[in-house]
Amino acid sequence: MSGKPKLYYFNGRGKMESIRWLLAAAGVEFEEEFLETREQYEKLLQGGSLLFQQVPMVEIDGMRMVQTRAILSYIAAKYNLYGKDLKERALIDMYVGGTDDLMGFIMMFPFFSAEDKEKQRAFIIQKATSRYFPAYEKVLKDHGQDFLVGNSFSWADVHLLEAILMVEEKKSDVLSGFPQLQAFKARISSIPTIKKFLEPGSQRKPVPDDKYVETVRRVLRMYYDLKPN
């Protein structure tokens, strides 16, 4: 065993992408095994390594962790990206909860029918600009610090940058009313580990395409379209 965390997922963003971001931000190298066939997935299932029969699954520190939020919390705490005390953790958890909801809308997007995609895109932009971005804009404006919580780089900053970039992929000028977030985006992007992750050749995955959707559907036998909330 190499000692590096090993990620089991499809070769695409989905629920694993936030984990890739956080490990990268912490400067932790990791390996990946990509699910491409139903047989691979069934083998994992039969081997008993998926607690609730689902991926993401991350082998880390002798554990086979599942459940995205559990994995992220573990990594954040282990690499000191979770604040200095219970109250800073609470703030980080709240902020991450918001960006998680926002990215959740985007994650489902490729699995919608063409007609629902248009509606969902408008919904994502509306929620980003009227609910989520204003909240983080205000947090940064109120304390005037570089990072969201405790004047120290944390999981909340990584997650927010990931969310901003994802929404920008849907509408490139979406940050136009948010000067604090624009500055935040520039600052966090220049942190060396983040900068490295944003360069070509990193383990960051591209925007999901038809091939990705087709692989997920095939491996999970998920042939129905998701519906918007």
In degrees to the nearest 10, what's the CA dihedral of 93, 72, 11, 192? 90
Region from 2-10, 30-38, 51-59, 183-191 binding another protein, contact rule CB under 8 A: 51-59
Which residue number, 53 or 190, has a Cβ lying nearer to another protein?
A: 53
Residue of the chain from 1, 52, 115, 223 that contacts another protein (CB under 8 A): 52
**Among 55, 95, 90, 49, which residue's Cα sits nearest to residue 71?**
55
Residue of the chain from 27, 97, 104, 179 that contacts another protein (CB under 8 A): 97
Region from 6-14, 91-99, 146-154, 194-202 binding another protein, contact rule CB under 8 A: 91-99
The structure tokens listed for 202 are: 């990193």
Which residue number, 10 or 136, has a Cβ lying nearer to another protein?
A: 136
Site for another protein in 98-137 (CB under 8 A): 98, 101, 131-132, 135
Region from 19-27, 47-55, 116-124, 215-223 binding another protein, contact rule CB under 8 A: 47-55
Distance separating alpha carbons of residues 54 and 76, to the nearest angstrom: 22
Q: Is 78 in the site for another protein (CB under 8 A)?
A: yes
Q: Is 87 in the site for another protein (CB under 8 A)?
A: yes
Residue of the chain from 94, 122, 183, 207 that contacts another protein (CB under 8 A): 94
Task: For residue 39, give the amino acid letter.
Answer: E
Under DSSP, the state recorded for 48 is T
Residue of the chain from 17, 59, 93, 137 that contacts another protein (CB under 8 A): 93
Q: Is 157 in the site for another protein (CB under 8 A)?
A: no
Structural contact between residues 137 and 184, judged by C-beta atoms closer than 8 angstroms:
no
Q: How far is the CB of 112 from another protein (least distance, A)?
A: 18
Residues pairing with 32 in the sheet: 7
The structure tokens listed for 76 are: 């954040």
Distance separating alpha carbons of residues 100 and 106, to the nearest angstrom: 10
Q: How far is the CB of 190 from another protein (least distance, A)?
A: 27
Task: For residue 180, give the amino acid letter.
Answer: Q
Distance separating alpha carbons of residues 64 and 140, to the nearest angstrom: 36
**Among 21, 1, 11, which residue's Cα sits nearest to residue 81?**
21
Give the binding site for another protein (CB under 8 A).
51-53, 61, 63, 65-70, 73-74, 77-78, 86-87, 89-91, 93-94, 96-98, 101, 131-132, 135
